[in-house]
């Protein structure tokens, strides 16, 4: 029984460190990192690796809040969590569906979708086939 509790605690703590790392990665890409307000953060681990959706509201260069944005991040082995762009979906649930499809892809379409997002293009997702 002690081992079950220890494993559960370890899994819970590893999720917390990922969440903190996601928050840090988001802050690194903001004009005013001290203004950020985080909503839901969801991390999906699949064949393509770890991907995250974060609901974020922060001040822009004019000092006004942008409103909630859905930000996607990809975990890179060497570099940690990297900003992958805004989700093509306006909702957190839509962002989760998008990254879940990518995380469970064999990798080729997921990589192309992330590349498209980083280039500012509209991605083609596995669900668009």
Check residue 33 and report its DSSP letter: G
Tens digit of each residue's pLDDT (9 = 90 or more) over 101-120? 877 765 556 566 666 665 66
What pLDDT sits at residue 14?
A: 45
Exposed, middle or buried by CB within 10 Å (0-12, 13-18, 19+), for 119?
exposed
| pLDDT of amino acid 16 | 65
Is 70 exceeded by the pLDDT of residue 3?
Answer: no
Q: Domain residue spans in the chain?
A: 2-128
For residue 122, the number of C-alpha atoms closer than 13 Å in the C-beta half-sphere is 2
pLDDT of 125 reads: 47
Tens-place pLDDT, residues 54-100: 999 999 999 999 999 999 999 988 889 998 888 888 899 999 988 88
Task: Tell me the C-alpha distance between 77 and 110, whole Å.
Answer: 16
pTM of the model: 0.71
- Residue 38's pLDDT band (boundaries 50, 70, 90)? very high
């Amino acid at each position: 029984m002690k081992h079950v509790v220890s494993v559960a605690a370890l899994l819970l703590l590893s999720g917390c460190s990922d969440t903190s790392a996601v928050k840090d990665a988001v802050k690194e890409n903001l004009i005013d990192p001290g203004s950020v307000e985080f909503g839901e953060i969801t991390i999906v681990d699949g064949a393509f690796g770890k991907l995250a959706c974060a609901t974020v509201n922060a001040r822009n260069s004019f000092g006004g809040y942008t409103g909630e944005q859905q930000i996607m991040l990809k975990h890179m082995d060497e570099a940690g969590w990297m900003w992958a762009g805004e989700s093509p979906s306006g909702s957190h649930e839509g962002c989760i569906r998008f990254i879940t499809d990518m995380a469970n892809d064999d990798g080729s379409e997921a990589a192309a979708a992330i590349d498209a997002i980083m280039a500012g293009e509209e991605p083609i997702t596995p669900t668009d086939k």
